[in-house]
């Protein structure tokens, strides 16, 4: 049985079929286009990924011990993130499993995403 959120959103016309679970690792630019509550204290987020080859993706994030829906190395709560905002996502993948957001950075309005990505990568080297 599907939950009311899914049925209501499906009736509204959200194109679920355009967003799949990915099996990729790496950095990508993404715009948050939709989010909905999942089962077992989880949040499903749907991103248009502008990295050129990932397409669109959906990601599952669980509530942590601080009651936040934050990726493992995150610094922002996805439940509080605004639809339409842009982010840099670092994707990881467990063996034979779907991609998940390992780390996420919000891109402030007017900031150049490529400069932010350079800064992130340079701090890792």
Longest Cα–Cα distance of the chain, Å, equals 47
Specify the long-range contacts of residues 35-41, CB closer than 8 Å, at least 24 apart.
35/78, 35/79, 35/81, 35/83, 36/5, 36/6, 36/9, 37/3, 37/5, 39/3
pLDDT digits (tens, 9 = 90+) for 49-91: 876 567 899 999 888 888 888 887 777 899 999 999 999 999 9
pLDDT digits 0-9 by tens, 1-50 = 344 455 666 666 788 888 888 888 888 899 999 999 888 888 999 999 87
Helix (H, G, I), strand (E, B) or coil at 103: strand
At 58, is the secondary structure helix, strand, or coil? Answer: strand
Q: Which two tokens stand for residue 29?
A: 């630019």
Distance CA 2, CA 4 (A): 7
Q: Which tokens go with 90?
A: 């670092």
Is the pLDDT reported for residue 125 higher than 70?
A: no
The model's pTM is 0.83
């Amino acid at each position: 049985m599907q939950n009311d959120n899914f049925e209501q959103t499906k009736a509204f016309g959200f194109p679920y079929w355009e967003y799949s679970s990915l099996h990729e690792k790496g950095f990508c630019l993404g715009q948050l286009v939709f989010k909905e509550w999942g089962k077992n204290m989880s949040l499903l987020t749907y991103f248009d990924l502008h990295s050129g080859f990932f397409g669109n993706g959906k990601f599952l994030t669980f509530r942590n011990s601080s009651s936040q829906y934050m990726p493992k190395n995150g610094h922002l709560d996805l439940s509080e993130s605004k639809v339409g905002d842009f982010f840099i996502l670092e994707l990881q993948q467990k063996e034979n499993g779907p991609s998940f957001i390992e780390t996420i950075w919000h891109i402030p309005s007017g900031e150049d995403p490529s400069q932010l990505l350079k800064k992130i990568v340079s701090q890792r080297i």
